[in-house]
């Protein structure tokens, strides 16, 4: 059951590298407290999902790297090769010379159609290497131009071409204090398009991860490398295998009954159905015990509401709109996005 990863833009590629590194290091960790057999089973399950075997034994990440300018991809490829432990495929990247200029419209309407064929071909090649495709993992940011715009376009294409495979998008929520001035526009356009074509959106907020680095890890001068590594660590533990060669109940679905607090659940789903747990004997990386939680809750309601509010205020003054209309994204497209997201906000509110 393999997963093909698509890394888009600077953020997607920088994080993608850290994720593969974390996954590789996890599966090659000393076995800790579990049995040797257990460890082998775990390693088998992990490797097959994210890496394919190369002739000289160096595992190759099942990934396609896409960026509209070459600097980041070059860095990512060389960092992986330097590690000596795993690498990216030689022909797994697609690169152009000039970036998307933080412009969602440029990423979606210009780069998308222009480069659709070569990018989808690369993904197809990666899919063909898999015995059994479980789905796609797409890593992108929302604030920029390539990850966000081209990411939305590619996800749509994946929906059309591989409608049976699951698509999970890892989206990076930008800092509230601003990294890119038009990040709110880019974000709402991304989210509204992904809502229609993606199966799941796994969200990481830069602000939240930053706080983890500052408060929990006491890092003094937090760099993007630190943030990306924390993120990759979290994703790695989320990606621990639930299936293995031994059978699908090897990592027992262990209904503990879930959390006791009724506030955590909706009225129309009993806790025993809302909560699923998987347990493995083999610990994640070097920890003795660890736990990872993924939840669908009202947690993101506030950030979503904030972004929609700010984008709406800016839209009302018509600022920066000419930068989008010149590449084919009209005011109606903005309004459609706003409408869809207001519905999402309202739905979460009603839960």
Chain positions 140 to 179 lying near other proteins, rule: CB under 8 A, are 145, 176-179
Phi, psi for 350 (deg, rounded to 5): -75, -10
- 166 Ramachandran zone, left/alpha/beta (phi>0; psi -120 to 50): beta
Helix, strand, coil distribution of the chain in percent, nearest 5: 50, 15, 35
* The token pair that represents 243 in the structure block: 């299936």
Given the complex with other proteins, which of 197 and 323 has the nearer CB atom?
323
Rounded-to-integer distance, Cα 185 and Cα 139, Å: 19
- Segment contacting other proteins (CB under 8 A): 84-92, 165-173, 267-275, 342-350? 342-350
The yes or no reply on residue 313 touching other proteins (CB under 8 A) is yes
Rounded-to-integer distance, Cα 1 and Cα 115, Å: 29
DSSP 8-state secondary structure symbol assigned to residue 299:
G
The yes or no reply on residue 298 touching other proteins (CB under 8 A) is no
The yes or no reply on residue 350 touching other proteins (CB under 8 A) is yes
Rounded-to-integer distance, Cα 136 and Cα 239, Å: 13
Rounded-to-integer distance, Cα 67 and Cα 100, Å: 9
* The token pair that represents 18 in the structure block: 């850290």
CB contact burial 221-252 (16+ within 10 A = b; e otherwise): ebeeebbbbbbbbbbbbebbbbebeeeeebbe
- Segment contacting other proteins (CB under 8 A): 21-29, 148-156, 216-224, 268-276? 216-224
The yes or no reply on residue 82 touching other proteins (CB under 8 A) is no
The yes or no reply on residue 320 touching other proteins (CB under 8 A) is yes
Q: How far is the CB of 228 from other proteins (least distance, A)?
A: 9
How many H-runs (helices) and E-runs (strands) does the chain carry? 13, 9
Rounded-to-integer distance, Cα 152 and Cα 140, Å: 9
Among 37, 71, 252, 279, indicate the residue that binds other proteins (CB under 8 A).
71
Given the complex with other proteins, which of 89 and 145 has the nearer CB atom?
145
Q: How far is the CB of 345 from other proteins (least distance, A)?
A: 9
Q: How far is the CB of 174 from other proteins (least distance, A)?
A: 10
Q: How far is the CB of 86 from other proteins (least distance, A)?
A: 22
Q: How far is the CB of 335 from other proteins (least distance, A)?
A: 8
Number of residues that bind other proteins (CB under 8 A): 46
Among 22, 230, 283, 308, indicate the residue that binds other proteins (CB under 8 A).
308
Given the complex with other proteins, which of 85 and 343 has the nearer CB atom?
343
Rounded-to-integer distance, Cα 252 and Cα 273, Å: 15
- Segment contacting other proteins (CB under 8 A): 128-136, 255-263, 283-291, 338-346? 338-346
Interface positions with other proteins (CB under 8 A): 10, 14, 69-72, 75, 97-99, 101-103, 145, 176-182, 220-221, 223-225, 308-310, 312-314, 316-320, 322-323, 338-339, 342-343, 346-347, 350
């Amino acid at each position: 059951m393999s997963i093909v990863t698509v890394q888009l833009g600077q953020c997607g590629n920088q994080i993608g590298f850290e994720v593969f590194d974390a996954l590789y290091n996890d599966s090659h960790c000393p076995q800790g407290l579990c049995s040797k057999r257990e460890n082998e089973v775990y390693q088998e399950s992990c490797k097959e999902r994210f890496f394919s075997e190369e002739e000289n034994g160096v595992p190759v990440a099942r990934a396609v790297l896409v960026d509209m300018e070459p600097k980041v991809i070059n860095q990512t490829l060389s960092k992986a090769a330097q590690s000596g432990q795993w690498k990216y495929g030689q022909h797994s990247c697609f690169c152009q010379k000039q970036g998307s200029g933080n412009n969602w419209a440029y990423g979606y309407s210009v780069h998308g159609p222009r480069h659709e064929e070569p990018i989808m071909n690369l993904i197809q090649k990666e899919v063909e290497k898999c015995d059994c495709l479980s789905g796609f993992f797409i890593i992108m940011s929302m604030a920029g131009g390539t990850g966000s715009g081209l990411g939305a376009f590619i996800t749509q294409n994946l929906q059309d071409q591989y409608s049976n495979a699951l698509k999970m998008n890892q989206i990076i929520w930008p800092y509230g204090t601003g990294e890119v001035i038009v990040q709110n526009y880019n974000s709402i356009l991304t989210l509204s398009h992904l809502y229609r074509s993606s199966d799941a959106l796994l969200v990481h907020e830069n602000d939240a991860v930053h706080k983890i680095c500052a408060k929990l890890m006491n890092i003094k001068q937090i760099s993007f490398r630190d943030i990306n590594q924390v993120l990759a660590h979290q994703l790695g533990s989320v990606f621990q295998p639930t299936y293995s060669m031994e059978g699908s109940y090897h990592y027992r679905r262990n209904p503990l009954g879930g959390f006791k607090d009724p506030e955590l659940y909706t009225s129309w789903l009993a806790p025993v159905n809302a909560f699923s747990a998987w347990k493995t004997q083999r610990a994640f990386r070097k920890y003795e015990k660890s736990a990872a939680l993924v939840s669908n809750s009202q947690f993101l309601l506030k950030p979503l509401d904030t972004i929609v509010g700010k984008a709406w205020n800016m839209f009302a003054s018509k600022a920066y709109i000419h930068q989008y209309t010149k590449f084919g994204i009209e005011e109606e497209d903005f309004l459609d996005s706003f409408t869809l997201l207001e519905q999402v906000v309202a739905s979460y509110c009603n839960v």
